[in-house]
Structure 1
Amino acid sequence: MALFGPVMSEHQRKIRNEETHVHYLGKSIQNELIDILANAIKEEILRNARTAKYFSIIWDDTPDVSHVKQMTVIIRFVQAEDNAVIAVREHFLCYVPLQETTGAFMAETILEEFKKMDLCIDNLRGQGYDNGSNMVHRRKAFKEIPGHSSTHRWDVLKRHVQSLTVKPPSETRWESRIDALKPTRYQIGDI
C-alpha cells in the first residue's frame, strides 16, 4: 500500500524507524477495516438494488470449513447507468448460517434476511434455491415467501396457454437444445 500513497509510505517509515508504536497493522484492526469496507460495499449493492426496484435472489447452501451449514445470498437486478447503459448486475451479499435445512426454517431465515437488508419482498421477481428439494417438497415453505416466484409464473403461463409444450434443454446434447426452443418460437404469440 505504501507504493501507492505517500501517507502510507510515511506511516511505514515511522514504524521502521520506531518513531511510532501505534501502527494499526495488527490482525484485529485489519479484520475490522475489512468488515467496514465489506459493509460499505454491501450497502452500496443494496442501495443499487433498491433503486432498480425489482430483483431476484439465489440462495445456495453449502457447508463451511467447520461443516456448519450456511446459505450464500446472491442478488440480481437490472441497473440503468447514467449514460443510459443497461446492465444486469449479480452480486454475492453474504453467508447466512443455518441451524436447520428444512424448507420452513430456510423460508423463515430468508424473510429475516430481507428485513435486515431492507429489501421489499413485494419487489422480488425471481427465486432460486440450490437446496430446492427442501423448498419444493414443502409447499408451506413457498407460501411463506410471498412475491412472484418462478413456480407461480410457470403455473400462470400453463393456465393461459393450454397448448404449451416447452421442454427443458438437455445438459449433454446441444442439438436437443434447439428442439427445446422450437415450441417457444411457434407459441410466442400465445405466451
Structure 2
Amino acid sequence: MVAPSIQKDIVHCFAQEVLKYIFQEINDDVFSLLVDESSDISKKEQMVVVLRYVTRGIVKERFVGLVHVKDTNALSLKSAIEFLFVEHDLSLKKIRGQGYDGASNMRGKFNGLKTLILRENISAYYVHCFAHQLQLVVVAVAHKHIEVGKFFDMIASLMNMVCASCKRSDMVRESQKEKVQEAIGSGETETGSGLNQELSLGRPGDTRWGSH
C-alpha cells in the first residue's frame, strides 16, 4: 500500500468515483464550460476543464479534468475537450455557456475556441471570465501605485539581467542553495520528499496569478 504505483491506482479509483458522481448530478442536463490553460513547473502546457451546472436550485462548479496539450491553438484545445467529453459521454450540444480569458485563441472572433464551439452549438454563449477581468483590474490599479510599480519594474530588470547570463544564474542558484542549507541547519525549514527542490526563475506576467 506504500508503493507509489499502488497509491496512484488508489487515487485514480477515487477520482473516477468522484467524476461518476458529478456526471450523475448533471444527468444529461445542460451545463457551462470553463477552460483555462497554463504551463506547469515541468514546462508542459496543461488545460483545466471545469463544468458549471445547476442541481436542485444550487449552482455548482466542478473540476473534471486536467489535460496535457501540445499546442494551445483553438483547434488543439477543442480536440482535447472533445476527447474528454467522449471519454465521459458528454456532448457539446449540451453546453449553454462558455467562460474563458481574453486571449485570442480563446475568444477570437473567427478562429477562437468559443467561435469553433458556437459553430456547432449556437446556444453556447460566451462570457469573459470575471475572475480574469478582476485580476486585470487589480494589476492595472497596482501598477498605478508608485511603490508597487517600481517593485514590478525592478523584478523585470532583475530577470532580464540574471536570465541573460548562465554565470549569473549559477550565482543565484548557489546563493539560494546556501540559504536553504542554513535554514535546514537551524530548523526553520523541513526536509522531505519533494521539498526544497531547485526551481527555475519565471518571468512575472500580468495574466498569471503568480504575478501578485
TM-score, normalised with respect to structure 2 = 0.54
Among residues 74, 77, 84, which one is paired with 2:53 in the alignment? 77
TM superposition shift of 1:91: 0.8
1:50–1:119: 8 Å Cα contact kept in structure 2?
no
Alpha carbons of structure 1 residues 46 and 171: separation in structure 2 relative to 1, 3 Å: same
- When the two chains are superposed, the root-mean-square deviation of aligned CA atoms in Å is 2.5
Which structure 2 residue ranges, 5 or more long, are not aligned? 128-132, 139-212
Give the structure 2 partner of residue 149 of structure 1: 124
TM superposition shift of 1:50: 2.6
TM superposition shift of 1:138: 5.7
Counterpart CA distance in 1 for 2:67 and 2:11 is 18
2:31–2:97: 8 Å Cα contact kept in structure 1?
yes
| 1:112-151 superposed matches below 5 A | 112-130=83-101, 132-137=103-108, 139-140=110-111, 141-145=113-117, 146-147=120-121, 148-151=123-126
One-letter amino acid of the counterpart of residue 124, structure 2: S
TM superposition shift of 1:95: 0.5
Paired residues, number:
128
1:70–1:97: 8 Å Cα contact kept in structure 2?
yes
Which structure 1 residue ranges, 5 or more long, are not aligned? 1-23, 81-85, 154-167, 173-191
1:70–1:98: 8 Å Cα contact kept in structure 2?
yes
Give the structure 2 partner of residue 30 of structure 1: 7
TM-score, normalised with respect to structure 1 = 0.59
Task: Could you list the structure 1 runs, at least 4 aligned residues long, displaced by more than 6 angstroms after superposition.
Answer: none
| 1:83-122 superposed matches below 5 A | 86-122=57-93
Give the structure 2 partner of residue 45 of structure 1: 22
